[in-house]
Homo-oligomer: A and B are copies of this chain.
Amino acid sequence: MRVLILGGDGYLGWPTAMDFAAAGHEVTVVDNYLRRIIAEETNSEALLSTPSLTQRAAKFKDITGHTIETIIGDLADPELMMDVVKNTSPDTIIHYAEQPSAPYSMRGFPEARKTFKNNLDVTFNVIWAMLEHAPQAHMVKLGTMGEYGTPNIDIEEGWIDIDHKGRSGRFLFPRAAGSLYHTTKVLDTDLLWFYVRTYGLKVTDLMQGPVYGLSTDQADLDPALCPNFHYDDIFGTLVNRFLVQAVAGVPLTVYGGGGQTRGYLNLRDTLQCVRLAAENPASEGELKIFNQLTETFSVNQVADKVQAVGNSMGLNVEVKSIPNPRKELEEHYYNPVHSGLKELGLEPHLMTDDVVAQMLERIIEAKDRIVADRIMPRVSWK
């Protein structure tokens, strides 16, 4: 199929592009390097060097023979979005093109505004580009488990049947996110659901948990193909941050009590999930929603695991609670349903000790590149 990946330079976008291309699909990626620009602005560059998207695509072609078409441009500009969708005539549009950092979105007005406008404008534009130029295409949209927050009831997969005063109805599961970034994805979901039910678009919205890892079949072929592995407080996800802290000899930074529980998944499983979503498209007028995670851990459980494996490898890993820069519950109920993708065939790569050890080994090789200034939280919600 013809696959258009919006935000194809990202931690997930680039491995996704390689995965689809390696499977024989025609892949075009678009990116405006927003994450790279923010990383420079905030001293949050990735651990490993990441050649430009064009250079990476050329290297990938050299090694595998597969082509990834690259377009550098801003999809918040409706003209570019319309042109790209019209010219590529995609069967599947994978939408990753959002400012993905919660702390960045909470830094102040300019950062909040950039996040708000970029994320909402891109989603609005891709909806309209589909309506005008690709109404039969299927959009796979990356949402986040963070949209739901930490409700006191089980988190269903996107939808909930509510019985109320003797009557019943089916509704979007209520959402209450913990950062502006996560809230922009709530707004995306509401907007998508409106256009899906009104105009019959086909959309799958993936509520993804925090992703960890840096290894995929294609990424492992050459260092130049590595995903943008961030360990900083701006773009680094929890597990990746802890892994780098363990190697750097910095105590693992548990925010507050550490009882915050989330659903995690391996980068390899993100690729599986997105492929499964693309291969099992939503029907006309359907907003299909999956909770994309493979297992849940509290922050303390992740810290314990990284500490245990690190120590077994001869690292001297400490764990330290620091004041929580975020506004979030540190003890709460958390029970998300996540059976839909497994029913489609997902075979989880769980966070075993071996998996943690392999990641630590990769990071130990790059130990000299770790910049300690990027580790402690620099943005507070207060």
Max count, chain B CB within 10 A of own CB: residue among A153, A154, A177, A333: A153
Are A191 and B198 neighbours in the complex by a CB distance under 8 Å? Answer: no
User: Which of A160-168, A203-211, A290-298 is found at the contact surface with chain B?
Assistant: A160-168
User: A39–B175 Cα gap in the complex (Å)?
Assistant: 36
Are B167 and A153 neighbours in the complex by a CB distance under 8 Å? Answer: yes
Are A153 and B168 neighbours in the complex by a CB distance under 8 Å? Answer: yes
Interface membership of chain A positions 330-364, coded 1 if the CB is closer than 8 angstroms to chain B and 0 otherwise: 00010000000000000000000000000000000
For A175, the chain B residues whose CB sits under 8 A away are: 190
A372 at the interface (CB under 8 A from B): no
Interface membership of chain A positions 39-71, coded 1 if the CB is closer than 8 angstroms to chain B and 0 otherwise: 000000000000000000000000000000000
How many residues of A sit at the interface, in one of the four size bands?
35 or more
For A120, the chain B residues whose CB sits under 8 A away are: 116, 120
User: Which of A27-35, A180-188, A229-237 is found at the contact surface with chain B?
Assistant: A180-188
Partner of A132, one of B109, B198, B327: B109
Are B174 and A183 neighbours in the complex by a CB distance under 8 Å? Answer: no
For A174, the chain B residues whose CB sits under 8 A away are: 162, 171-172, 174
Partner of A109, one of B78, B109, B169: B78
Task: Assess A154 versus B177: contact at CB under 8 Å? Given A187-B187, A190-B186, A198-B381.
Answer: no
For A109, the chain B residues whose CB sits under 8 A away are: 78, 128, 131-132
A87 at the interface (CB under 8 A from B): no
For A191, the chain B residues whose CB sits under 8 A away are: 183, 187
A151 at the interface (CB under 8 A from B): yes
For A78, the chain B residues whose CB sits under 8 A away are: 109, 113
For A112, the chain B residues whose CB sits under 8 A away are: 124, 128
Q: How far is the CB of A344 from chain B (nearest CB, A)?
A: 24
Are B154 and A160 neighbours in the complex by a CB distance under 8 Å? Answer: no
Partner of A169, one of B151, B180, B186: B151
Are B333 and A167 neighbours in the complex by a CB distance under 8 Å? Answer: yes
Closest to A116 in B: B124
Closest to A82 in B: B109
Task: Assess A327 versus B162: contact at CB under 8 Å? Given A176-B172, A190-B183.
Answer: no
Are A176 and B171 neighbours in the complex by a CB distance under 8 Å? Answer: yes
User: A177–B145 Cα gap in the complex (Å)?
Assistant: 23
Q: How far is the CB of A197 from chain B (nearest CB, A)?
A: 8
Partner of A167, one of B152, B177, B180, B183: B152
Q: Given A171-B176, A198-B327, 10 other A-B contacts at CB below 8 A?
A: A112-B124, A120-B120, A152-B169, A153-B167, A154-B167, A176-B193, A176-B194, A180-B194, A183-B190, A186-B194
Q: List 22 A-B contacts (CB under 8 A).
A: A109-B131, A109-B132, A113-B128, A153-B162, A153-B165, A153-B167, A160-B162, A162-B162, A171-B176, A172-B176, A174-B174, A176-B193, A176-B194, A177-B194, A180-B194, A183-B194, A186-B190, A187-B187, A187-B191, A190-B190, A198-B327, A198-B381
Residues of A within 8 A of B (CB): 78, 109, 112-113, 116-117, 120-121, 124, 128, 131-132, 151-154, 160, 162-165, 167-169, 171-172, 174-177, 180, 183, 186-187, 190-191, 193-194, 197-198, 327, 333, 381
